[in-house]
Amino acid sequence: MTTKTYLPFLLPLRCVIFLLVFVIGAAITRQHISDISNWWSVAASVVNIGTIVLLILAAKSAKTNYWTLINFQKGQTKVGQVIGVTLAILLIGMLGMYLAGWLCYGKLPYAAPMMIAPIPVWLAIVNVIILPVSTAFAEDGLYLGCGVNQIRNKYAAVIIPALLFALQHSFIPTLFDIQYIIYRFLSFLPLTIILCLYYYRRRNPVPIMIGHTVIDLATVMQILATSAVPGLFEKMCGM
């Protein structure tokens, strides 16, 4: 485990970057920020790659590497752990989203429609490959490796990364709508608390990263479906 005290200060970085990406993107394209929200998955893939590069460089500056940063140990993971954590991520993720939708919008289930809005089909296909894997390496590397692994206080080591882990989703995509921001934050908070707590106790990132990949794969597959099948998005939004 590394001991560089500056690493936890990287935790808010993705919140800031996503906010800037959508604000600047809207300004460049001369569109309202809500009009580019369907491009969130493409923006996320680009930011993920940048985050991974940053984590590699940060680890190098701490005289270590990415794998040590996240405490990866070969042979540590059992199949049962992967299955259990993956199922837990899917269940808690869905419950968190539905509960937040009920609290914020009075609907059960509720899902933000822009999250599965269509994009060009070729981009949707590329993102099926890139987004799930890059998200696991970027987000879990940042919030677990630079957060849980680096913060000395046992309560802060879980709470601070979990809060910022959830908060970043409030800006993916960015919309200046307080109801939406709270909805996105509450949707992910139960899951991020559980993930950070699990990692704090087990120090094994692999089950989390695999489960994380699976839940994001389900999302990008929906985007691919709405992108490839005309009218499907409108039908799904009307359900």
Backbone phi and psi for residue 83, each to the nearest 5 degrees, phi listed first: -65, -45
User: pLDDT (tens digit, 9 = 90+) per residue, 32-61?
Assistant: 999 999 999 999 999 999 999 999 999 999
Is 90 exceeded by the pLDDT of residue 1? no
Ranges of each domain in the chain = 7-65+78-237
Mean pLDDT of 114-141: 96
Grade residue 111 by pLDDT with cuts at 50, 70 and 90: confident
Grade residue 112 by pLDDT with cuts at 50, 70 and 90: confident
User: pLDDT (tens digit, 9 = 90+) per residue, 119-128?
Assistant: 999 999 999 9
Is 60 exceeded by the pLDDT of residue 14? yes
User: pLDDT (tens digit, 9 = 90+) per residue, 161-197?
Assistant: 999 999 999 999 999 999 999 999 999 999 999 999 9
Is 70 exceeded by the pLDDT of residue 2? no
Grade residue 84 by pLDDT with cuts at 50, 70 and 90: very high
The Cα 107–Cα 171 span in angstroms is 22
What are the residue ranges of helices labelled H in 108-205? 121-135, 156-168, 178-202
For residues 135 and 213, is the Cβ–Cβ distance under 8 A?
A: yes
User: pLDDT (tens digit, 9 = 90+) per residue, 143-160?
Assistant: 999 999 999 999 999 999
- The DSSP call for residue 114 is G
pLDDT in the model for residue 3? 52
Mean pLDDT of 208-232: 94
Question: Around 135, how many Cα atoms within 13 Å sit in the side-chain half-sphere?
Answer: 27
pLDDT in the model for residue 238? 67
Is 50 exceeded by the pLDDT of residue 232? yes
Torsion of CA 96, 101, 103, 108, to 10 degrees: -100
pLDDT in the model for residue 4? 62
Mean pLDDT of 59-67: 92
